[in-house]
Amino acid sequence: MLIYAGIDEAGYGPMLGPLCLGATVFVVPDHDPADGAPDLWQRLEESVCRAKRDRRQRIAVDDSKNLKLAKSSKTHPLKHLERGVLAFLGHFGGRLPEQDADMFSLLNVTCPETPWYATVSPLPLAHHADELRIVISRLARTLEDSGVEFAGMTCEAIDAGDFNAQVTRTNSKAGVNLTAALRLVDRIWRKWPDAHPRVILDRHGGRTHYREDLQFAWPDAHLTILAEQADISRYRLNRSGSQLTVTFQCEADRMHFPVALASMTAKYVRELFMLRLNRFFCAQCPELKPTAGYVQDARRYLSEIESVLIARQIDRQALIRVR
């Protein structure tokens, strides 16, 4: 049996909005981990594919950067991200969330109590709920027929206030990202302590060596370096007989289905947060154009909402990432 998990982030670079990290877990009972990672795109091909356009109307699962559409698109920019995330979440949670707050609850996402995140968005944004229920039903049949279980889906959102506090405490923006990812790894290990989970993460900043970070996260575990190469770093941890294998791999979201779906989850959650943020400030400034939160446009946005920040005495440390 294989516990096959993936973790990926969205929103590492922006000045506004949260850093989000998604995690997904699949159980493949008939797969021997010694054979490497299974190709879930192939095993689930009746319901999923990589392409945005598919004559069979399958669910697109890929790196989130490949699935989000341009603002100028004739269809909603989140169409493909939403379809994939809500299909798997609807299957895993047993219901289709009716608003973003429901989705956050299903994913264990904590929403900060700030005025710019106070509103909720009805879901789905770009689809009809009945259409998605059909997609969820089809996915459930494919999972059952293929002998694959979708066993977990979660997300952590670190907003500006918490992000700034952690960076100040650790003096490392990259460290905040990696520490959050390892928290998700720890949840997976604790849930399947006797099943030796294999967890895949995208490379963090091109780094090759992660031994010290892993040993700090699990000081009571014995760590073995399995590989530290140009494209992959792999480690085995053993804690009182409970084993975990963690792999950091270049382009993991292209090569591993759970990582791609985690990337989509993190991106979709971040987009829902930004929708709330933009709704709040655009209501205060009717001429304001929404922002995705990245540095150059965020500076424009902050300049245009300066009067609102002053009038409402908004704590900039709670809104703007300092690094």
Confidence of residue 201 (pLDDT cuts 50, 70, 90): very high
Has residue 290 been placed in a domain?
Answer: no
Distance in Å from the first CA to the final CA of the chain:
42
Q: What is the pLDDT of residue 71?
A: 78
Q: pLDDT of 146-179, one tens digit each? A: 999 999 999 999 999 999 999 999 888 989 999 9
Q: Name the nearest CA neighbour of 278 among 14, 4, 13.
A: 14
> Three-state DSSP class for 10?
strand
Distance CA 185, CA 177 (A): 13
Confidence of residue 90 (pLDDT cuts 50, 70, 90): very high
- Bridge partners, residue 8, by sequence: 22
Q: Name the nearest CA neighbour of 245 among 232, 261, 260, 257.
A: 232
Q: pLDDT of 202-223, one tens digit each? A: 987 778 999 999 999 999 999 9
What is the domain range of residue 81? 2-191+253-276
* Residue 323 pLDDT > 80: no
Dihedral angle sign, alpha carbons of residues 35, 185, 99, 165: negative
Has residue 248 been placed in a domain?
Answer: no
Has residue 298 been placed in a domain?
Answer: no
Q: What is the pLDDT of residue 34?
A: 84
Query: Both tokens of residue 283?
Result: 């209501």
Q: What is the mean pLDDT of residues 33-39?
A: 89
Total domains in the fold of the chain: 1
Q: What is the mean pLDDT of residues 229-250?
A: 96
Has residue 318 been placed in a domain?
Answer: no
Q: How is residue 116 annotated by DSSP?
A: G
- The region of weakest confidence among 7-21, 23-37, 277-291 is 23-37
Residue with tokens 């650790």: 170
Q: Give me the CATH number covering residue 46.
A: 3.30.420
Q: What is the mean pLDDT of residues 111-115?
A: 95
Mean pLDDT taken over the chain = 95
CA angle at 200 for the pair 12 and 100, rounded to the nearest 5°: 50
Has residue 139 been placed in a domain?
Answer: yes
Distance CA 291, CA 237 (A): 42
Has residue 260 been placed in a domain?
Answer: yes
* Residue 63 pLDDT > 80: yes
- The region of weakest confidence among 121-135, 195-209, 213-227 is 195-209
Share of the chain above pLDDT 70, in %: 100
Dihedral angle sign, alpha carbons of residues 24, 25, 31, 36: positive
Q: What is the pLDDT of residue 9?
A: 96
Has residue 214 been placed in a domain?
Answer: no
Distance CA 77, CA 70 (A): 6
| DSSP H stretches of helix in 158-305 | 160-170, 173-191, 211-217, 252-255, 257-284, 295-304
* Residue 322 pLDDT > 90: no
Share of the chain above pLDDT 90, in %: 89
Has residue 323 been placed in a domain?
Answer: no
Q: What is the pLDDT of residue 68?
A: 86
Q: What is the pLDDT of residue 171?
A: 86
The CB density around residue 278, as the number of other CB atoms within 10 Å, is 20
- Mode of pairing for the β-strands spanning 48-49 and 59-60: parallel
Q: What is the mean pLDDT of residues 10-34?
A: 95
pTM score over 0.85: yes
Q: Name the nearest CA neighbour of 253 among 30, 83, 9.
A: 9
Q: How is residue 289 annotated by DSSP?
A: P
Q: What is the mean pLDDT of residues 9-16?
A: 96
Distance CA 159, CA 286 (A): 25
Amino acid at 131: E
Confidence of residue 135 (pLDDT cuts 50, 70, 90): very high
